[in-house]
Structure 1
């Protein structure tokens, strides 16, 4: 059964944030999105126990602290390491992909160039996690 998600979106590009929010708004469920503009800000938000995401959507290429640096710290936190983290990025670098999976991500999605493809892929991503047994248990 689908349910609204608490989503932590870690993305520095305002246009990408706007696109993601548009996809989520068009879904029937009222997902809650908390935004962070880099890994350092995301870690600060996670320290506040009121921010308790069901899923983290993470870009890799960000200022201050990139996605891989964030992942390494997140996965060392016993209380937060099981939060499913999905990479949503432009990077097709095989080294990045392999390193992210080795750290413990739940998925890796390359942002497509076509807007329609981005919308469809993001919709599928959110729909999958809103019905996933890990989150719904």
Structure 2
């Protein structure tokens, strides 16, 4: 039996992060979620650096990635993930408020596995995150185990 891989949630908006975690708690997967508040933290997690240098090795089951984040934006994080052979297999779901066609096109061009616009309405947002968490965290078979990259 393989260990359950965590979901990496990259969200700088405290309200959206709280709602996403609450939605995943209802699905009993919140204990498997790692929250990062900016793109630099996401990269530190993936490369086992900084505050994450002693975390258990291995890639997350999925990255839910906000597009507009401080320090390193979501597109740069996505570009870094998909350019690294150790990280490339990780599914990345862009979870954003941007409906701009340019953001959508660039996300897919860089290798995003899905692009989900955050619903503005509270209950729709909760429902969307529940469905995403259930599918990517419990139903989808994650890629084979990778290890921390030395980048």
Same fold (TM over 0.5): yes
- C-alpha change, 1:15 and 1:110, in structure 2 (3 Å) is same
Worse-matched range after superposition: 127-136 or 40-49: 127-136
**Distance 1:93-1:63 versus aligned 2 partners, 3 A rule:** same
- Alignment of 1:95 with 2:108, yes or no, is no
Q: Label 1:28 to 1:62 Cα distance change in 2 as closer, same or farther (>3 A).
A: closer
Are the counterparts in 2 of residues 4 and 29 from structure 1 also a CA contact under 8 Å? Answer: no
Instruction: Note the C-alpha offset of 1:103.
Output: 0.7
Q: Deviation per CA, 1:35-63, whole angstroms, max 9, x where unpaired? A: 11111111011111626311000000111
Structure 2, unpaired ranges of 5+: 49-54, 146-151
Report the alpha carbon displacement of residue 28 of structure 1 after superposing the two structures with TM: 3.4
Given that 1:6 and 1:55 are in contact with CA atoms closer than 8 Å, whether structure 2 keeps it comes out as yes
What residue ranges of structure 1 are gaps of 5+ in the alignment?
none
**How many residues are matched?**
135
Partner residue, 2:70: 63
Structure 1 ranges of 4+ moved more than 6 A: none
Counterpart Cα distance in 1 of 2:82 and 2:75: 11
The root-mean-square deviation of aligned C-alpha atoms, in Å, is: 2.1
Mapped to 1, the partners of 2:143 and 2:6 lie a distance apart of 10
Partner of 1:122: 129
Q: 2:81 aligns with which of 74, 87, 95?
A: 74
Distance in 1, matches of 2:129 and 2:31, equals 13
